[in-house]
């Protein structure tokens, strides 16, 4: 049975810290719905109604575009080992860039990870747990290193060029907040 909460409790926070993957869902009023898996050590519970994650460079930047257009977001975490559980966080979020005043405080929450481009700062309005009885059990064998290697190989200038070319506009033509001038 699903249970709803108005904040992230201690058990929820512990569960979140122990999951090697989480999923992010966003949508604008029109266009495609985005659902993205996230990994690495990039998610932090900052308070009972706030989480942040380090958004790494990807093939698109749909989450940032949807947050600018609408702000609504859902995170989902599933236990693939141990006791079964699914945890969803519902709320609104904003994208924080290196040019923003809050950047230094937020980036300090995370290990230095090649390819970071933004921090997503989420205000959690509802927490919902459910059984997860049908979620398969799987063994976590480690993180893939490919994204980090790709980002290191591009270097800072190459990443900026990539952001301008691939991450400034969503697949539906929405701006993502990546500053083309990157000043």
**Using the 8-state DSSP alphabet, how is residue 168 labeled?**
S
Over residues 113-135, mean pLDDT: 97
User: What is the overall mean pLDDT for the chain?
Assistant: 96
Q: Which domain holds residue 28?
A: 3-134+143-167
The beta strands (E) that lie in the chain are given as 3-5, 22-26, 34-38, 43-47, 50-56, 72-78, 86-96, 116-130
Supply the pLDDT for residue 102.
Answer: 97
Q: In the structure, what pLDDT confidence band is assigned to residue 183 with cuts at 50, 70 and 90?
A: very low
- Domains in the chain, number: 1
pLDDT at 179: 77
pLDDT tens digits for 114-124? 999 999 999 99
| Closest of 64, 8, 65, 56 to residue 31, by C-alpha | 65
Of 1 and 44, more confident: 44
pLDDT of residue 180: 63
Reply yes or no on whether the pLDDT at 182 is more than 80.
no
Q: Could you tell me if 180 and 72 are in contact, meaning their C-beta atoms sit under 8 angstroms apart?
A: no
User: Is pLDDT of 181 > 70?
Assistant: no
Residue 112 within a domain: yes
The phi, psi pair for 44, rounded to 5°, reads -130, 135
Residue 96 maps to which CATH number? 2.30.110.10
Helices (H), the chain: 10-17, 62-69, 103-107, 146-162
- The tokens describing 73, both together, are 């977001």
Q: Is residue 180 part of a domain?
A: no
In a domain, 161, yes or no: yes
With cut-offs at 50, 70 and 90, classify the pLDDT of residue 1: confident
């Amino acid at each position: 049975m699903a249970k709803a909460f108005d904040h992230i409790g201690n058990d929820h926070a512990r569960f979140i810290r122990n999951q090697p993957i989480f999923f992010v869902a966003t949508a604008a009023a029109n266009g495609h719905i985005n659902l993205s898996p996230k990994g690495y050590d990039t998610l932090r519970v900052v308070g009972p109604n706030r989480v942040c994650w380090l958004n790494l460079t990807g093939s698109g930047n749909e989450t940032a575009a949807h947050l600018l257009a609408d702000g609504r977001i859902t995170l989902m975490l599933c236990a693939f080992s141990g006791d079964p559980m699914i945890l969803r966080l519902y709320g609104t979020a904003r994208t924080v860039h290196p040019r923003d005043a809050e950047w230094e405080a937020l980036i300090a929450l995370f290990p230095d990870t090649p390819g970071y481009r933004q921090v997503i700062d989420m205000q959690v309005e509802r927490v919902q747990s459910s059984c997860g009885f049908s979620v398969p059990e799987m063994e976590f064998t480690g993180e893939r290193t490919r994204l980090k290697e790709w980002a290191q190989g591009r270097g800072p200038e190459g990443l900026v060029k990539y952001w301008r070319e691939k991450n400034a506009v969503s697949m539906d033509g929405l701006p993502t907040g990546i500053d083309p001038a990157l000043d």
